[in-house]
Structure 1
Amino acid sequence: ITAPETRVVLFALSALALIGTLLLARYLVGSKFGRVLTAIRDSESRVMFIGYNPLWYKLFVWTLSAMLCAVAGALYVPQVGIINPSEMSVGNSIEIAIWVAVGGRGTLIGPVIGAFLVNLAKSWFTVSFPEYWLFFLGTLFIVATLYLP
């Protein structure tokens, strides 16, 4: 797993999984299914009134989300070597929320761009000014929440 060739393959597989997921999400959002999901988000009772059963749509999306998380985990663990409960810490969850806030919640590619930018800043800060990273992250969250759409 530590061989450079293996790491390149894992990186390529991760990139392909990301692209595949973005294409799938774009397809779903643009389809009738995506319009029903948007309607469920806006007014679930109205969707029920016109004859759809939101339970099945929610169940499908939840199951699809679980499947994508499983694929992401299967690609992540070999790259980091070991996984432990600290990977699911509050700090990591907040950082992921900041990726979305920086990139923009209204687009599919926005959170990917946000993740790239925040991790670029994290790489620089943790090398140059490690004690200021969390302050920067908090400031970034406040700025993104107040000023970015």
Structure 2
Amino acid sequence: MSATADPAEDRSNPANRLGFQPGQVVQELGYDDDVDQDLREAVEDLTGTELVDEDYDDVADAVLMWFREDSEDGDLTDALVDAQEYLVEGGLVWLLSPKTGRTGHVEASDIAEAAQTAGLSQTSTVSVSKDWQAVRLATPKAANAKAGQR
């Protein structure tokens, strides 16, 4: 086996597409039986750390938040505000929601509105599995840092 990663594997690994890096602490919120276990394992394999849950009380580099419409997940805006509580300055929130046509799908307009109200900027959407999509939400510091690099 080669010590270098296969470029095709890098593109196909959803954790790579989400930009996770070795050593990062990723807080997972909204875990339930329906989450994509392959994605969770890919994030842990890439970062080399286990996902931490909502009881984690130190700073995290990123948040992986599973959210479904009309479920016990509550209000999306409140959940996004809460997700930022222990997020390192410039960290990202990856909002995972069921794809269109799947139970619990969240409309793109609802995500955009909740993100804006929570003070986050929606930057991209990525398909991460057969059933889930991920929306990249940047904190104001992350959005400003990216704008300053142009």
Tell me if TM exceeds 0.5. no
Quick check: which one's strand share is greater?
2
Quick check: which one's helix share is greater?
1
